[in-house]
A and B are shown apart, each in its own frame.
Chain A
Amino acid sequence: MHSIPGRRLIMALFLIFLLLPIYWLVNMSFKTNAEIVSTMTLWPHTPTLQHYRRIFTDESWYSGYINSLEYVVINTVISIAVALPAAYAFSRYRFLGDKHLFFWLLSNRMAPAAVYALPFFNLYSAIGLFDTPWAVALAHCIFNVPLAVWILEGFVSGVPREIDETAFLDGYSFPRFFIKILVPLIASGIGVAAFFCFMFSWVELLLARTLTSVQAKPIAAIMTRTVSAAGMDWGLLAAAGVLTIIPGALVIWFVRNYIARGFALGRV
């Protein structure tokens, strides 16, 4: 009853529309550059792994993935650690300025990264964090901490208050209650929040590129190197692109039922 005529066809067409450009990227990453430039082939006629081999053996390439993962992980840990107590506070208590604070957090989630690029550059240069993963990790907190608070608040609100009260009656101190009882109860929520922090930090480029130069350069910035005097190295660019899709594609499975909730800031 709750479907429309021709739904299978619509869904199939839309999925093809989504997959076709990705397929093209994967296809190109297995071709030699000669094949890419000279002929139009729908699948690699002389499949090669040379581009992947180059990325995994050249330090200037694979270090980009390590750098990216480094700041993404630092950012996720910071975001979840500070957001957890705040989510509990917003869910359970009313306090001076709570609504304004919530709105202020949201407004930072929505702030355009382009506005912050230059002041961040100045700020992190001044305190000597420029070109370290910490600079990018802290900069990404501006949108990830609010996101984590919003998502976790939804999950904490799903835990009945009676559980808190019983625990306190049983003589649990607040920190012990928090770690022993609350955190295990909202473990799936923490997983979802961590996934979204990971993701938004992983997909962002502007701040990551602005705040690094040599040592902590993310993979996204290294990819621009494929443009050289000898022309574009299309195969290498495609292979690097495919490798950035894999982490997201792997973890999607675990959060497929929560994905709408995460994108709606925990409000669905």
Chain B
Amino acid sequence: MDKTINQKAWFLVLPVFLVVAFSAVLPLMTVVNYSMQDTFGNNQFFWNGVGWFKELLDPSTDLGGRFLASLGRNLLFSAIILAIEVPLGIVVALSMPREGWSVAACLVILALPLLIPWNVVGTIWQIFGRPDIGLLGYTLNYLGFNYNYVSNDLDAWATVIVMDVWHWTSLVALLCYAGLKSIPDAYYQAAQIDGASRWAVFKAIQLPKMNRVLLIAVLLRFMDSFMIYTEPFVVTGGGPGNSTTFVSIELVKIALGQFDLGKAAALSLVYNLIILIVCWVFYTVMTNAGTERPAKEGAA
């Protein structure tokens, strides 16, 4: 609030600036450079101008078709997991025990999936879903469902979505729980005196108080699901066919698989631009929510 203006503070920020510039700006410049060129191997490059970008946004070309298809899949994936994880996260947060050792136990178990390396998350679900050796796949097939994530598109999607719900719902739940805990008891006592129903308490007290953390949760989940790579790559490898090939998987295929530097770079820039726009929304929301809060609390 009462920050003093001091340009010398730049000296304190300088190390961060240099480290991040080295690991972010320098590589990004390479990407910009590549995106304008074509290569036929042997380190020979040819000027291609905005050719790649035109191709990228034109669905009739190979590159454009692949990009737009994977973008569509990715947006659908993000929409589905948000629609599941946010309500489920709220319900789980509301179901947290109130006090005692069980609070700590629940917190630790909830956090557990978040700390597992992403490829191991993939491995866990790869094994768990297999019809021959996995509990889930075996049980489903035993019950008569013909479930096989390797050959069936729908099963592959279901597996990847359930895996993401397993992996990240806890994040939404933990954030919501942090929001719920900040509600003073006086609010609940007042509601009790007014004879408010549970639903009314949720709508009038809990949801508004969770607003801020929910926004953070939604934006974080959107960003991370939009960049998802490792987990589906381990489980399905982007298949069957291309059915679970998301943008990151497509990009790595073009960049490190085919070594098509120009195409990959153009895709990277467009991808990064989308992220940057969402990021800006995220930042605005977070900083605005921060400045609004004291004013509101002062009024209340």
Footprint of B on A, CB under 8 Å?
1-5, 7-8, 10-11, 14-15, 17-22, 24-25, 28, 36-37, 40, 42, 78, 81-83, 85-86, 88-90, 92-96, 98, 101-108, 110-123, 138-139, 141-142, 145-146, 149, 161, 199, 202-206, 210, 220, 223, 234, 237-238, 241, 244-245, 248-249, 252-253, 256-257, 259-261, 263-265, 267-268
Contact = CB atoms under 8 A, between A and B. Distances in A.
11 contacts: A1-B192, A7-B97, A25-B128, A93-B4, A93-B9, A96-B7, A101-B13, A103-B280, A141-B20, A206-B229, A252-B115
Contacts of B283: 102-103, 106
Contacts of B290: 267
B276 interface: yes
A21 B19 contact: no
Interface in B197-224: 198, 201-202, 206, 213, 216-217, 220, 223
B16 A82 contact: yes
B271 A115 contact: yes
A93 B108 contact: no
A220 B132 CA distance: 24
B230 A85 contact: no
Given A94-B5, A115-B272, A204-B118, A21 B109 contact: no
Contacts of B19: 78, 82, 138, 141, 145
A94 to B, nearest CB: 4
Question: Shortest 5 CB-CB distances between A and B: which pairs?
Answer: A248-B115, A119-B27, A260-B178, A7-B95, A89-B12
A263 B10 contact: no
B31 A119 contact: yes
Interface string B247-275: 11101100110000100110010011001
Interface residues of B, number: 108
A248 B272 contact: no
B12 A18 contact: no
Given A241-B120, A241-B124, A118 B12 contact: no
Given A10-B95, A85-B15, A142 B119 contact: no
Contact of A205 (B94, B119, B220): B119
A199 B110 CA distance: 16
A65 to B, nearest CB: 11
B175 interface: yes
Interface of B: 2-10, 12-13, 15-17, 19-20, 22-24, 26-28, 30-31, 88, 91-92, 94-98, 104, 106-120, 123-125, 127-128, 132-136, 138, 166, 169-171, 174-175, 177-180, 183, 188, 191-192, 198, 201-202, 206, 213, 216-217, 220, 223, 226-227, 229-230, 247-249, 251-252, 255-256, 261, 264-265, 268, 271-272, 275-276, 278-280, 282-283, 286, 290
A14 B9 contact: no
A256 B111 contact: yes
Given A93-B6, A115-B251, A2 B24 contact: no
Contacts of B282: 106, 110
Q: Is the interface of B mostly helix, strand, loop or mixed?
A: helix
A24 B117 contact: no
A245 B135 contact: no
B119 A220 contact: yes
Contact of A86 (B15, B125, B166, B275): B15
B188 A94 contact: no
A61 B231 CA distance: 22
B125 A21 contact: yes
Contacts of A253: 104, 108
A21 B128 contact: yes
Given A28-B127, A86-B13, A146-B20, A19 B109 contact: yes
A15 B223 contact: no
A112 B116 contact: no
Contact of A263 (B171, B202, B226, B276): B171
Given A24-B135, A118-B255, A112 B271 contact: yes
A111 B82 CA distance: 20
Contact of A18 (B28, B104, B113, B223): B113
Contact of A123 (B27, B180, B201, B248): B27
A42 B133 CA distance: 11
B16 A17 contact: no
B166 A94 contact: no
Nearest to A118: B255
Given A1-B201, A115-B31, A40 B138 contact: yes
Contacts of A5: 198
A37 B132 contact: yes
Contacts of A25: 123-124, 127-128
Given A18-B170, A114-B251, A118-B261, 8 more contacts: A40-B138, A115-B271, A117-B256, A118-B265, A199-B114, A205-B118, A220-B119, A237-B123
A113 B227 contact: yes
Nearest to B3: A94
Contacts of A107: 275-276, 279-280
